[in-house]
Structures are given as C-alpha cells and as structure tokens.
Amino acid sequence: MSFKIGDSVKVKKGVMCPEDDSICIAGWQGRIFEIEDDNLVGIRWDSITLKQLPQEYIKQSEEEGMDWSEMYLSANEIEPTLSRDSEETADQLREAMESTSHWLSDGEEGKRILKVITDAEDEVEAWNDYLSQVLIFPFDAEVSEPQDEGPLECDDQLQVKGIAEPDDLYGVLVKVSCGRERFVFPLCDLTVLDKKSPNYRPVKDYCVWFANR
C-alpha cells in the first residue's frame, strides 16, 4: 500500500506504541505529514484520537521531551481510512492541549494548576474566580519580585485586602495596604508570608502558572 502526504490513516489491530509496549494504539487515527525512505510514516493524530490519548502517555511524553501529538510508524502498521474531522480542527485542539499539557510533568503542583485552567476560555479569569473563592482575607504578604516603577519595592511587606480585578497584562490584581497607603497590585509579584496559611499554596500555584504561562 502506497501512501501520500495528507492521507487519513488508522493504526491496524494489535499494534503497540513504539515508545511504550504496554499501550495498544490500534484504532488511533490521524493524517500523514511525512514519509521517509525507510518505510516510516509520520502521523499527526486527529482531534478524536487526541481527546482519547491516555493522560499517563501525555505525561510520560512531556517528561521525556517527546511529541505526543504525532508518531512514526511503519507503513505496514497502518491502513487508509476516512477522515473524521478537518485538519484545522485537529490543529486547534492540538494547540489548546499543548498550552496546558506541560503541567502534567510538574507533579501535584501541576495537577492543581490544571484543575484551574483546564477548559477555561480565559485562564486569567479562571484564576480570578478560583482565588476569589479559596483565599481568606486579609493576609500578610511580601513583594517578591523587583519593581521597575511604583511606590512598592522588593521585600516590602503589606496586607492583602481582597481581589480587585483581572488584567490581561498583569493577571489577577489585588487590593493591598502598606501602612496608611492603599494600592492595587499584581498578585503574581507577591508571596504569602505565613507558609502554614491556607492561602500560601493557592497563591504560590498561581504565581508559578503566571511565570510559565
């Protein structure tokens, strides 16, 4: 069977994952994007297969620096089939999954972050809603990032009074007081002083997400 770029193909029965022989990939479907001289065929999974990828497989691939959205197989291991979606649909889902999948390799912290942002249309809004529900105000915090301008500097201590509003550039903003002065300040630049506080972990998770978004 000869294939060409763009063909929709399906993995034959009994075929196991080349990188993990405990995973049966029979029925996985996608489109050919490359054909090599040694009879290897590069396949990008369609949106249906992407949705059904085992989370542990994605996690392992992320940890090993491998691309879970595609695979190279022998031409003898695949067969032609009808397309189940458009290439644009598959690309859009792949991009959406790639924007969050790297958190799977970050242990419990990554799992907590994923719970907040998975399926969110606006991740900043999702964090704003989540933190509004879980944080207990007021709490003491410290400016943990250098400030290019403004009245506050790194290591300044202040009290966080509440959530102000989300901002596309600065993320979740909070109302703070430092002495008698009142400000609106980016939460991503703060660290909760009391590490035993129930506020410490949610704020730290948010700051990690913001720094790596």
The pLDDT tens digits of the residues spanning 42-86 come to 999 999 999 999 988 988 898 888 999 999 999 999 999 999 999
- Do residues 189 and 144 lie in contact, with contact meaning Cβ atoms separated by under 8 Å? yes
| Contact of 139 with 149, CB cutoff 8 Å | no
Rounded CA gap, 52 and 63, in Å? 19
Contact 190, 154 (CB under 8 A): no
What are the residues whose beta carbons fall under 8 Å from the beta carbon of 99, sequence distance 6 or more? none
Question: Could you tell me which CATH number the domain at 120-212 has?
Answer: 2.30.30.530
pLDDT digits (tens, 9 = 90+) for 89-132: 999 999 988 888 888 878 889 889 989 998 888 999 999 999 99
Domain with CATH 2.30.30.530 in the chain: 120-212
pTM (two decimals): 0.69
Taking alpha carbons only, the member of 174, 111, 97, 109 closest to residue 138 is 174
Q: How far is CA 43 from CA 23, 36, 98, in A?
A: 17, 12, 17
Q: Which amino acid makes up residue 73?
A: L
Which residues face 185 on adjacent strands?
A: 174
